[in-house]
Structure 1
């Protein structure tokens, strides 16, 4: 414990933030990209770029479902599961799919999907295999290559450290409103401190919300004890209680013809006249135990769990449904979850989420760099840097320059890999991690200003290469996207061009930057002490 409360909070803020800052940067980086995961998946599949949005998507859903039932009954009447995924505003195509029999050692059945143009109802050419934006979404909390439960525990503890760092940062920041408008250029650590303050304060409500709600999304993993003590079978019984389940047709035996899907849809539209259907799932089709589950968009309601109705596939009887009126506790939990995921956000709010996420990883990055620069500025002349300083500088270069470059490699791989290569989606992911590994090796060897300048230039070239390679390997480019008003694709390419320009600006700044003078060092040190005193 330090000699005063504020010094203790300063020590806590510094070390709690530093210990997990590189992991938090990865979490913020991938989570921020995830707000546009559907758009990234769309860009990764150029085969569907020319599908036109339906003029009246919701009114066409009923006929699309009826056609889907006829198609699946003809193609896979004995399949264990069917699913019909309807077009949405951000996902333009219609999908009819059925599950294949499980292979030995396989946990879940693989689906055979047929994608259709919803305007013509004609099958589309096979899509290229890709994880698209879902890779970044899963990386955000599963960290890839790590056991899922272990990864989520790691993310939980990192989020808890983040929350402590935010609260302690507010406590020690006496000039919080003044510093929100203060930025001093070319002042060494002071400049990075100003960048840290501005990015922290401007998006402080977002940082608090996204960190706290991130913990709430995994609250039952962190605190399972109330459910474990209240239910005989613990968490399993708890989730069965809060999620609509079919307990009516489970014991039915033998085959039975499927009820006409019209009768199911009539019940649905009687209950929810303005329903926007997302998906229809059928378990055990053409059996007495079959069920038909209809998932409906919550639209503007603060609900993370998709509202659903479950019908008997043999009789058409409604056997289970989502609660229409939520308890106070469940309503709070659903609201906090939906706030974190941002799935219900309209375009403007989604962009605000995105900008808040950028402020988050700018805050983390500036904190990492500021810590290393302060140690460098305090070193005596001709003194050798410590192992800790070398480690921090290496991790800074690896994370801050490696992640953008790896992201470019992921999207470039999507365009240059052969469509026939086996495990194509996994090879895109491999390109991401191999690129990141190369940057880490470079950072182990050398971490000085020259390496930062070289990596900034490489990042600039890689960012510009993404739209260029896209134009060379597909029938679209940023100009055609603008002419055809394909705004998602246009914005994707434009953001990479903008990022490339920013990296080249950074390259020039690093080339012309002057070494920090001793006077600036002394002023910086006193300024930092005054800020936290």
Structure 2
């Protein structure tokens, strides 16, 4: 019975992992980069690199909000929405955006600008780019796909991941011993050690991030409580849960709003010490216009921001939200906060990042180990099956293709002209085109030579990225260090470290490839 149970758990662990491992690798890869999505966005906008952070950031917010709203009031009076993002520890500029009134059934287009918080002047040379937001959305929306379908796929993959983690713990007989064991140069055993080591060392993170990921989509997975309690189902439930997010339909009846500065002053009279993250005005100049202040939760284990909603005509406080949670709301919201990692200080964010890389290693090594085990069991004259060749091709395409695609995305950000129409989408298209190129190569042939060639390509690309940055912007690694611009310096250093890892990999694969003819020759000599 014990042996049968162990075999069942081993079978479950193997197949729940293998069937979705490539999708899981993408989810983990994009999610890991998302922990630094604000830093990636900052890197993608050279115009804001030299904006100095403010010492008294919170004290300066009142004037910044007034200046930004007055700028929108003067330049976007016909807009459907005004949006102002305040400087934070990870973003040094004021983000000023507005959305056009879209045609019936269509969403309006967003227009984005930056303002220097020190001078309150508009910065030029805004670069149309999704930056780190692309990886954040890719993590659960998968791009080029209907969002609902994508999130169902991500949910099923996450559920398989959770089953794989639990069954892996069950079948792992030496879970603590394997934390300190890695035998290199031992073929499949080395891959097994890499799989075990990356799994066990970051196991708490893997379980936390997978379970909380399912929690973020819990109302999609289990809609029935809301559907049974509300006549209109989930729509009415969310309206009751977050009334501040409900947008009244624009009436078209124009009214005169109070001056924005007066409304901002009124807010700070009522709530003088709040650290504000963003300010939104819905339907400016319409009788349904609302002014919303969102607080920065900082390092609190809270994902939903406290919000205050004001009537822009009479200055009345309409509602407050997320300032006081029930026990169930606190539990749910804290899980989402843990998953997104927005609460993290730099040290914890780096820990999340390293654990995310460990998750990629865990998934990738498991997939490669499965293929190598099948290869080892084959006879010398036996031809690989279609399934084995497909797995090997997908392994190469995913593990080596995603870094190539990511480098292509960053190169596109630096090399595409700022005036290029649809520039942000073009960056994303080049990401997927780079990945597609690697996938076609990998599905054609996925031997040691192809792994080595792609390792060399990755090494060259990631080494060239800081050089490209230095040639296309006014900064470089040396200047970043002298100016103490540690985010930009860290980006370049991480690129160089990535290039070094791929270079080492290419050297090891070259040695392995050179050793194969010698081994084959010796075997032929023994046969003679």
- Scaled by the length of structure 2, what TM-score is found? 0.93
Contact 1:129–1:424 (Cα < 8 Å) also in 2: yes
- Seen in structure 2, the aligned counterparts of structure 1 residues 381 and 401 have a Cα distance that, compared at 3 Å, is same
Q: Take 1:98 and 1:247, find their aligned partners in 2: how far apart are those partners? A: 18
Deviation for aligned residue 1:254: 4.8
> Per the alignment, in what secondary structure is the counterpart of residue 4 of structure 1?
helix
Is residue 2:129 matched to residue 1:123? no
Deviation for aligned residue 1:113: 3.2
Q: Take 1:246 and 1:511, find their aligned partners in 2: how far apart are those partners? A: 57
Alignment partner, residue 356 of structure 1 = 355
Deviation for aligned residue 1:289: 2.9
Alignment partner, residue 28 of structure 1 = 28
Contact 1:246–1:319 (Cα < 8 Å) also in 2: no
Q: Which has the higher contact order (CA 8 A, sep 6+)?
A: 1
Is residue 2:289 matched to residue 1:283? no
Q: Take 1:311 and 1:121, find their aligned partners in 2: how far apart are those partners? A: 24
Is residue 2:20 matched to residue 1:11? no
> Per the alignment, in what secondary structure is the counterpart of residue 185 of structure 2?
coil
- Per-residue deviation, residues 225-247 of structure 1 (Å, max 9, x unmatched): 00000111111111111113399
Deviation for aligned residue 1:325: 2.2
Deviation for aligned residue 1:70: 2.6
Alignment partner, residue 48 of structure 1 = 48
- Seen in structure 2, the aligned counterparts of structure 1 residues 156 and 269 have a Cα distance that, compared at 3 Å, is same
User: What aligned pairs does 1:235-384 form with structure 2 within 5 A after superposition?
Assistant: 235-245=234-244, 254-261=253-260, 264-266=263-265, 268-269=267-268, 272-384=271-383
How well do the aligned residues superpose, as a CA RMSD in angstroms? 2.2
Q: Take 1:426 and 1:284, find their aligned partners in 2: how far apart are those partners? A: 27
- Seen in structure 2, the aligned counterparts of structure 1 residues 270 and 442 have a Cα distance that, compared at 3 Å, is same
Q: Take 2:170 and 2:409, find their aligned partners in 1: how far apart are those partners? A: 40
User: What aligned pairs does 1:23-422 form with structure 2 within 5 A after superposition?
Assistant: 23-103=23-103, 106=106, 108-245=107-244, 254-261=253-260, 264-266=263-265, 268-269=267-268, 272-422=271-421
Q: Take 1:428 and 1:290, find their aligned partners in 2: how far apart are those partners? A: 35
Q: Take 1:11 and 1:480, find their aligned partners in 2: how far apart are those partners? A: 54
> Per the alignment, in what secondary structure is the counterpart of residue 355 of structure 1?
helix
Q: Take 1:260 and 1:177, find their aligned partners in 2: how far apart are those partners? A: 64
Contact 2:198–2:358 (Cα < 8 Å) also in 1: yes
Deviation for aligned residue 1:267: 5.1
Contact 1:30–1:140 (Cα < 8 Å) also in 2: yes
- Seen in structure 2, the aligned counterparts of structure 1 residues 381 and 75 have a Cα distance that, compared at 3 Å, is closer
- Per-residue deviation, residues 73-122 of structure 1 (Å, max 9, x unmatched): 2223343322222122212211333332314652x222333321111112
> Per the alignment, in what secondary structure is the counterpart of residue 24 of structure 1?
helix
User: What aligned pairs does 1:454-533 form with structure 2 within 5 A after superposition?
Assistant: 454-513=453-512, 514=515
- Per-residue deviation, residues 384-417 of structure 1 (Å, max 9, x unmatched): 1111111111111101110101111111111111
Q: Take 2:143 and 2:229, find their aligned partners in 1: how far apart are those partners? A: 34
Contact 2:113–2:126 (Cα < 8 Å) also in 1: no
Single out whichever of 272-281 and 340-349 deviates more from structure 2: 272-281
- Scaled by the length of structure 1, what TM-score is found? 0.93
> Please, which runs of 5 or more residues in structure 2 have no aligned partner?
521-528
Deviation for aligned residue 1:48: 1.3
**Runs ≥4 residues deviating over 6 A:** 246-253
- Seen in structure 2, the aligned counterparts of structure 1 residues 101 and 184 have a Cα distance that, compared at 3 Å, is same
- Seen in structure 2, the aligned counterparts of structure 1 residues 249 and 102 have a Cα distance that, compared at 3 Å, is closer
